[in-house]
């Protein structure tokens, strides 16, 4: 074994992610969890395509990630609710990176609310954003990964797939489909060397979390501080995740270090989910 030196000069570094020169696509990645995943993969040596709807924030994220890591980062404008734009995104990824080894699917979250708050149109919009985008991205990515001979897909969902969250009926219902899809793909594609896993972020300090707490405070006629305190108390570690906490798990699962991990749905939530699995 080569004498590698890790942090604090320790010998025998055991974890080497093996993401150098891998080609990765992370969707909905101009902000928050998606951006953190793209940054983490770039830090580990991958070339990365990022996407979002708004060009200005997207290009800023591209410049910041490239500046911080020195890696190749490509920004592609894409609204994930349109199949045609997802097709263009994968075509650009193939052209810019010369193929694809790692896919991380993420999207904006559906609006918060209770069952009787939403009509068919609201449901179909959420299905399009949080289920159909994953179906389309996975299908197109698998075609490229088959060409490469292997690959890793991480579909990001939420702890709502393990324990439904009060006032998030759309997320609670639709994201469960992503878990069913991912497990099915893990079975179907494992023999081809393509791994599929799911990461479920717990409460994470991003703009989305601030918006959700504001909406709940208004709905329940309580103060924002009271709502925030309730969320903190519900997490055994007593804090929200930072986006990088989620991104590290995503980078690990995307990497060769996790080469025997396939078909799992793992939460990164400070212990917030109270069930056994």
Residue 86 interacting with ligand NAD (CB under 6 A): no
Residue 41 interacting with ligand NAD (CB under 6 A): no
97/246 with CB nearer ligand NAD = 246
Residue 52 interacting with ligand NAD (CB under 6 A): yes
Alpha-carbon Rg for the chain, nearest whole angstrom, is 19
- Identify which range of 16-24, 32-40, 185-193, 223-231 contacts ligand NAD by CB under 6 A: 32-40
Nearest in space to 131 (alpha carbons), one of 91, 164, 96, 86: 86
Residue 268 interacting with ligand NAD (CB under 6 A): no
Q: Contact 159/151 with Cβ under 8 angstroms?
A: no
Q: From the CB of 86, what's the least distance to ligand NAD, in Å? A: 9
Q: Contact 102/23 with Cβ under 8 angstroms?
A: yes
Distance CA 112, CA 42 (A): 32
* Interface mask toward ligand NAD for 155-194; x: CB under 6 A: -x-x------------------------------------
Q: Contact 40/66 with Cβ under 8 angstroms?
A: no
27 alpha carbon, distance to own chain's centre: 8
Residue 267 interacting with ligand NAD (CB under 6 A): no
Residue 242 interacting with ligand NAD (CB under 6 A): no
Query: 133-148 and 83-97 are packed helices; what angle lies between their axes, rounded to 10 degrees?
Result: 30
Q: From the CB of 2, what's the least distance to ligand NAD, in Å? A: 38
Q: From the CB of 108, what's the least distance to ligand NAD, in Å? A: 3
Residue 108 interacting with ligand NAD (CB under 6 A): yes
3-state helix, strand, coil in the chain (%, to 5): 50, 15, 35
Nearest in space to 272 (alpha carbons), one of 159, 148, 153, 125: 159
Residue 112 interacting with ligand NAD (CB under 6 A): no
Kindly identify the residues of this chain, within the stretch 1-30, that bind ligand NAD according to CB under 6 A.
28-30
End-to-end CA, the chain: 36
Q: From the CB of 222, what's the least distance to ligand NAD, in Å? A: 19
Distance CA 203, CA 26 (A): 20
48/209 with CB nearer ligand NAD = 209
Binding residues for ligand NAD, per CB under 6 A?
28-34, 52-54, 78-81, 106-109, 129, 156, 158, 201, 203-204, 206-209
């Amino acid at each position: 074994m080569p004498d590698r030196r890790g942090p604090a000069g320790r010998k025998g570094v055991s974890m080497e992610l093996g993401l150098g020169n891998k080609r990765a696509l992370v969707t909905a990645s101009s902000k928050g969890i998606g951006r953190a995943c793209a940054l983490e993969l770039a830090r580990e040596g991958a070339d990365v395509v990022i996407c979002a709807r708004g060009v200005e924030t997207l290009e800023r994220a591209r410049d910041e990630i490239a500046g911080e890591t020195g890696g190749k980062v490509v920004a592609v404008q894409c609204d994930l609710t349109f199949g045609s734009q997802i097709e263009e995104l994968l075509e650009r990824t193939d052209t810019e990176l010369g193929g694809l080894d790692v896919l991380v699917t993420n999207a904006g979250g559906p609006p918060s609310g209770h069952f009787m708050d939403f009509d068919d149109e609201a449901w179909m919009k959420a299905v399009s954003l949080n289920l159909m985008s994953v179906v389309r991205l996975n299908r197109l990515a698998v075609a490229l990964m088959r060409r490469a001979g292997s690959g890793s897909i991480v579909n990001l969902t939420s702890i709502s797939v393990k324990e439904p969250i009060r006032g998030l009926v759309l997320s609670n219902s639709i994201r469960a489909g992503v878990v069913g899809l991912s497990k099915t793909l893990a079975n179907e594609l494992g023999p081809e060397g393509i791994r599929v896993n799911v990461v479920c972020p717990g409460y994470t300090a991003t703009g989305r979390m601030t918006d959700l707490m504001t909406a709940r405070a208004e709905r329940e006629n309580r103060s924002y501080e009271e709502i925030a305190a309730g969320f903190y108390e519900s997490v055994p570690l007593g804090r929200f995740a930072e986006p990088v906490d989620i991104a590290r798990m995503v980078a690990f699962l995307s990497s060769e270090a996790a080469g025997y991990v396939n078909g799992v749905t793992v939460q990164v939530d400070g212990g917030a989910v109270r069930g056994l699995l």
